[in-house]
Amino acid sequence: MALIVQKYGGSSVGSLDRIRQVASKIWEARQQGHQLVVVVSAMQGETDRLIQMANKLCPQPAAREYDALISTGEQVSAALLAISLNAKKCNAHSFTGQQIGIITDDFFTCARIQEVRTDLIRQELAQEQVVIVAGFQGIDSKGNITTLGRGGSDTTAVALAAALKADECQIYTDVDGVYTTDPRVLLEARLLDEICFDEMLEMASLGAKVLQMRSVELASQHHIPLRVLSSFHPGAGTLVTSEDKMIQKRSVSGIAISREEAVIAIAGVPNCAGVEGYIIGKISEAHIEIDMIAQHALARELIDFTFTVQRKDYVAAWNIARQLAQELGAASVVNNPKVAKLSIVGIGMRSQSGVAATMFQALGKVGIPIQMITTSEIKISAIIDEEYLERGVEVIHQAFELDKAPQTLAVEASPALSN
Amino acid sequence: MALIVQKYGGSSVGSLDRIRQVASKIWEARQQGHQLVVVVSAMQGETDRLIQMANKLCPQPAAREYDALISTGEQVSAALLAISLNAKKCNAHSFTGQQIGIITDDFFTCARIQEVRTDLIRQELAQEQVVIVAGFQGIDSKGNITTLGRGGSDTTAVALAAALKADECQIYTDVDGVYTTDPRVLLEARLLDEICFDEMLEMASLGAKVLQMRSVELASQHHIPLRVLSSFHPGAGTLVTSEDKMIQKRSVSGIAISREEAVIAIAGVPNCAGVEGYIIGKISEAHIEIDMIAQHALARELIDFTFTVQRKDYVAAWNIARQLAQELGAASVVNNPKVAKLSIVGIGMRSQSGVAATMFQALGKVGIPIQMITTSEIKISAIIDEEYLERGVEVIHQAFELDKAPQTLAVEASPALSN
């Protein structure tokens, strides 16, 4: 008998029929003897309906009231799921964040969980109840209702799993799990059996939006095994776990993709201490988020400063860059507003040389020019023309044999994989 | 500066435009310097929408979950109203029943308020906030969400007014106040400036469904002046108050009407002790509610036992009556399935003779036969054929001059009025 926290997203409870299906899934897990705490999102569309009403009354509704309003969506789906379970003679009680005692700070609309009380849940579990918790919400120390921001139900689930020291936290979504790359871009993308927290974080931040980042961080901190799986199809999904628990070995786990990027380079900037901070400062002041930065100035009097921004910010960033170039006496501003970012992610690359070479050679062989490179411990990112995106993913996927299942640890890593 | 509790019903907050109008009304009252606690119902249609979802999942949804579900409707309208007020730069915070501390028993779907905490409200009022409370809901001693049954928001408002010792509790509805009789039946029906609690209770129980009975009882017990007024039209509405606060004098305040009644008489029942209890017991066992009962047996061996039931129960009641007649050796069962009840209500009739005579003479003059009469301290009811209903209301309304404003206490009651 395990203690499992399950989380069902908005599309998983998007209709009464789907709520019934979720109830069946829960009922099966109960039949296997597991103790269950179930976190639900609002029914798909419900939060938007509530937000629309608020916005019709006021374009910028008061944050405290906005949270009180939209938190009802999760309360509704939690109660409906409990009704559906009770109709199956399965004991279940629904609770709001307030009732459970999910205590957050008071940053309305994006609150952070500070404490999760577990006494009521333990009491209910001891009475053989399935405990259904409205996700995405809590109360601050004064008793005001708060919400955790988009994807907050994932965080609720992980925070509950951590507080309860659950055996596993299962995140049910509308995808089958985490893939080696976006299956819409590459048909050969393969479902990963497992991935480690750090890899998942890099994948998520690079645009593979399966899990909310905060929830992955939280699971990682508390060593809660996280499983991403589909509400609609059978299958064990992908287990996100600690590196030391991984039973498979590989250098690269997946390729993250980010479109809608733009690259800008200020070339020939006179090199003086603090110039980079000055440039970044000016762009940040305009509330433009910079993603990648590359600079090389080794023993040179003039430096090239290259960075990427989201494409929506491109024109504003370019204008600032041109002003900066004039001010700083730079030679020119070069740019490409239509680029994409390909990133290979894998904890294995820390200990394995040649990973970068394999990636760049794969792109080079098919004539895809690389416009910018940055690296971190478990990630290598390359900026390429967006038109080469699909082809680039394809050749890198092949180069790392991501379409094939990796070997388990029991077997010595093959020379091909360890490069 | 007064402390006022206002309550807005489902039609008053039935759309975003109406919520804006309510916000304007509240804003005006704030401008006059009043402290305001505002109770809201769910937006019209919202509770039904939630109930329908529950019923589609289960014809008899679990009561605890049902309450958790439908209580969200009031939370939504409370938050939307607060958003609308905040948009007008009027300080306002919304609260659920749980947040305020409205403690009820644990009879889900029809809970009764046991305690209302006022510390948070007082604190908010001191900070110049309009306190908006989701009506119709509370929590039991274990922290489960409960609801108070239909019309429960009225009860919430009165309970809050009582706990806060408010100066007035204003119930905003879709009618202008309490009329001398149903304006749909009689065009000359006049809006009452005031009515006392006992009269209101009689009016309410007799089918003038402006206020929920429980809320009138509560207001009466705690001496909270209750004002019924329209959300949509200007006007001071009707003040429901204690008898000793009434400034107007009259024998009869209004005529309550109840349609859909049926009368059954068991005639010639051998008179023996306990026979009435036996008859009533048999009918109650069939879950049929008896309204009026009349019996006259003074010094007679055979009695006639006459009673009324709702028309929907007529056939079932008649069958029982026939069995009883046979069993008890009664002479016959007489019945009329299409009758209506006219009741005059007025605290003045306690001290004024001739009120009954005026009523019966008025009916007699136009040839309306009376089939049954019962009286209580402040009410006289007559059963007549339903076809005479409108005419009966008209002549009684005229006889008591209900179309004319009553004299105030400062003036001696005229002989015409005191009859």
Residues A65-78: tens digit of each pLDDT: 999 999 999 999 99
Residue B294 domain flag: no
For the segment A17-21, the average pLDDT, to the nearest whole number, is 96
Is there a contact between A99 and B68 (Cβ–Cβ < 8 Å)? no
Distance CA B394, CA B399 (A): 9
The answer to whether the CB atoms of A57 and B145 lie below 8 A apart is no
Question: What does the pLDDT read at residue A17?
Answer: 97
The answer to whether residue B412 scores a pLDDT higher than 70 is: no
Residue B323 domain flag: no
Q: From the centroid of its chain, how far is CA A329?
A: 41
Q: What is the DSSP string of A123-168?
A: HHHHTT-EEEEE-SEEE-TTS-EEE--TTHHHHHHHHHHHHHT-SE
Q: Cβ contacts (< 8 Å) between A77 and chain B: which residues?
A: none
Is there a contact between B343 and B202 (Cβ–Cβ < 8 Å)? yes
Residues 6+ apart with CB under 8 A from B197: B216, B217, B219, B220, B226, B240, B241, B242, B243
Confidence of residue A186 (pLDDT cuts 50, 70, 90): very high
Q: What is the largest CA-CA distance in chain B?
A: 77
Residue of B nearest to A20 (CA): B57
Q: Cβ contacts (< 8 Å) between A69 and chain B: which residues?
A: 75-76, 79-80, 83
> What's the length of chain A?
419
Give me the CATH number covering residue A307.
3.30.2130.10
Query: How many domains would you assign to chain A?
Result: 2
Run of H or E residues at A263: strand A254-270
Q: CB-CB: which of A57, A64, A72 is closest to B87?
A: A57
Q: Are residues A158 and A281 in the same domain?
A: no
Q: Tokens 């927290």 belong to which residue?
A: A197
Q: Tokens 């639900």 belong to which residue?
A: A40
The answer to whether the CB atoms of B16 and A98 lie below 8 A apart is no
Q: CB-CB: which of A16, A86, A143 is closest to B65?
A: A86
Quick one: DSSP state of residue A385? E
Which among A399, A417, A404, A401 is positioned nearest to A361, based on CA atoms? A399
The DSSP bridge partners found for residue B92 are B130
Is there a contact between B343 and B252 (Cβ–Cβ < 8 Å)? no
3-class DSSP state for residue A336?
A: strand
Q: Are residues A150 and A283 in the same domain?
A: no
> Which whole-number Å values give the CA distances from A357 to A281, A295, A414, in the listed order?
34, 20, 18
3-class DSSP state for residue A298?
A: coil
Q: Are residues A266 and A169 in the same domain?
A: no
Q: Among A142, A174, A206, where does a domain finish? A: A174
For the segment A266-286, the average pLDDT, to the nearest whole number, is 87
Q: Are residues A158 and A272 in the same domain?
A: no
Give me the CATH number covering residue A17.
3.40.1160.10
Q: Are residues A261 and A167 in the same domain?
A: no
Q: CB-CB: which of A62, A64, A82 is closest to B62?
A: A82
> CA geometry: angle at A361 spanning A359 and A367, to 5°?
110
Residue A339 domain flag: yes
Question: What does the pLDDT read at residue B164?
Answer: 97
Q: What is the DSSP string of A88-123?
A: TT--EEEE-HHHHTEEE-S-TTS--EEEE--HHHHH
Is there a contact between A350 and A202 (Cβ–Cβ < 8 Å)? no
Q: What is the DSSP string of B238-267?
A: EEEE-GGG--B--S--EEEEEEEEEEEEEE
Residue A55 domain flag: yes
Residue of A nearest to B75 (CA): A69
Residue A264 domain flag: yes
Distance CA B69, CA B76 (A): 12
3-class DSSP state for residue A265?
A: strand
Mutate to test the interface with A, among B24, B57, B146 (most CBs of A within 10 A): B57
The answer to whether the CB atoms of A62 and B53 lie below 8 A apart is no
> What domain range is A160 assigned to?
3-174
Distance CA B229, CA B32 (A): 18
The answer to whether residue B199 scores a pLDDT higher than 70 is: yes
Q: Are residues A400 and A267 in the same domain?
A: yes
Residue type, B235: G
Q: Among A117, A151, A174, where does a domain finish? A: A174
Residue B289 domain flag: no
Residue type, A45: G
> Token pair for residue B395?
């002549």
The answer to whether the CB atoms of A65 and B58 lie below 8 A apart is no
Q: Between β-strands A302-310 and A254-270, what pairing exists: parallel, antiparallel or unpaired?
A: antiparallel
The answer to whether the CB atoms of A20 and B87 lie below 8 A apart is no
Q: What is the pLDDT of residues A376-415, one digit of tens each?
A: 888 899 999 999 999 999 999 999 999 988 766 543 333 3
Q: Which CB contacts under 8 angstroms, 24+ apart, belong to A321-330? A: A321/A264, A321/A266, A321/A283, A323/A282, A324/A266, A324/A278, A324/A279, A324/A282, A325/A266, A325/A269, A328/A266, A328/A269, A328/A270, A328/A275, A328/A278, A328/A279, A329/A269, A329/A270, A330/A266, A330/A267, A330/A268, A330/A269, A330/A270
Q: From the centroid of its chain, how far is CA B135?
A: 17
Q: Are residues A166 and A260 in the same domain?
A: no
> What's the length of chain B?
419
The answer to whether residue A26 scores a pLDDT higher than 60 is: yes
Residue A170 domain flag: yes
Q: Cβ contacts (< 8 Å) between B143 and chain A: which residues?
A: 99, 120
Which among B158, B227, B160, B165 is positioned nearest to B193, based on CA atoms? B227
Q: Tokens 């010792």 belong to which residue?
A: B165
Please tell me the number of Cα atoms within 13 Å of B175 on its side-chain side: 17
Q: Tell me the residue ranges of DSSP E strands in A297-378.
A: 302-310, 332-345, 372-376
Q: Are residues A163 and A271 in the same domain?
A: no
For the segment A339-344, the average pLDDT, to the nearest whole number, is 93
The answer to whether residue A418 scores a pLDDT higher than 60 is: no
The answer to whether the CB atoms of B64 and A99 lie below 8 A apart is no
Q: From the centroid of its chain, how far is CA B402?
A: 21
3-class DSSP state for residue B302?
A: strand
Q: What is the pLDDT of residues B37-50, one digit of tens each?
A: 999 999 999 999 99
Please tell me the number of Cα atoms within 13 Å of A339 on its side-chain side: 26
For the segment A261-289, the average pLDDT, to the nearest whole number, is 88
For the segment B220-243, the average pLDDT, to the nearest whole number, is 92
Residue B94 domain flag: yes
Q: What is the pLDDT of residues B299-343, one digit of tens each?
A: 578 888 899 999 999 999 999 999 999 999 998 999 999 999 999
Among the ranges given (A105-109, A238-242, B348-352), the one the predictor scored with the smallest mean pLDDT: B348-352
A3 sits in the region (left: phi over 0; alpha: psi -120 to 50; else beta) called: beta
Quick one: DSSP state of residue B300? -
